[in-house]
Structure 1
Amino acid sequence: MVYVVEMDVNIPESWNEEKVADYITREKACSQEHQQSGKWVYLWRVAGKYSNISVLDVEGPDELHRIVSSLPLFPYMTIKVTSICKHPNALKETMI
């Protein structure tokens, strides 16, 4: 199943620079691991915000939740998930 996932990150203002840097480093490693697995197909930054729009191709909602909730910043995110499928008018045969 293919999902579009919009993630808005809300880092607590009370965090010091070292804690923020630690979380960002761990977040990068975790997201890149999922990208290398082929499950996290696309990752785009939303200009002007600490947000991203991603496309994940996973077995189903349980796997999607496992991946997204494995992110270190998951507790500090507002997340919107949209399940998508191939449009009948699309020219390409493959979804991704």
Structure 2
Amino acid sequence: MSIIIKPIVTEKITKDGEVFNRFGFVVDKKANKIEIKKAVEAAYGVSVTEVNTMNYRADRTVKYTKSGLISGKTNAYKKAVVQVKEGETIDFYNNI
């Protein structure tokens, strides 16, 4: 489970799951598509047909306030969108 960090549950990914059988995960930055496929198949018991990955960079922001400049940053992460075989699904809401 060190490859899959957490599932992504957003409106867009949820709709893709219902229509196209695609599900999103935040994964380890060093993981490749083969490792992600094996980890999803082992964790959820489905057969994965396709894996797409995206790397997101850290965004830096500066806010101008009364007390001065406040700088912040979001974390960089890698996102994987996996497509499962027709007829199979992943249920994130069921506690197994």
- TM-score by structure 1 length? 0.39
Q: Which has the larger radius of gyration?
A: 2
Which structure has greater strand proportion?
A: 2
- TM-score by structure 2 length? 0.39
